[in-house]
Amino acid sequence: MAKKKIDVKIYSYGEYETWDRNSKEIPKLKSITPTVQAELGTEFGYVLHIKKAKGLLLRFCIDHPPFGDENGQTMAPFVGELYINTNDYRFFLGDCIWAPLEDKMGAWKLSTWIDDQLVAEKTLQLVAQ
């Protein structure tokens, strides 16, 4: 039997309102843009609209400019995974800018896979105001 075709679209990308990470709600879009003016607290990323993928494993990666953790060690890209729990699913992948601003500037590459297939990728540039 043929595998069903997953339908994935980048619904929006750029700068968003502050996101409540404990909520199931997707943050509200402020501006569609590949270039984000960085200031403390700025939320950025993309929203995917995913159909026909219930029960499949979604993996994600945020590859960021090199910056150090509290011990001065260069932080690895942020990665994670989750199972898609509905056939009409919205997924926000992003981050919020924290101090110091200077080491967060540059390209942030966001990538998402479903069942080991790359389904979305976007690079956002964080720039000084």
Point out the residues of the chain with pLDDT beneath 70: 1-3
pTM of the entire predicted model: 0.92
Rounded to whole angstroms, the Cα distance separating 88 from 112 reads: 17
pLDDT confidence of residue 3: 61
**Which are the contacts of 96, defined by CB distance < 8 A and separation ≥ 6?**
18, 19, 41, 42, 43, 44
pLDDT confidence of residue 1: 46
Distances (CA, A) of 72 to 66, 69, 90, 105: 11, 5, 35, 17
Q: What is the pLDDT of residues 4-32, one digit of tens each?
A: 789 999 999 999 998 887 888 899 999 99
Query: What is the chain's mean pLDDT, rounded?
Result: 93
**Which are the contacts of 63, defined by CB distance < 8 A and separation ≥ 6?**
77, 108, 109, 110, 111
Collapsed DSSP state (helix, strand, coil) of residue 104: helix
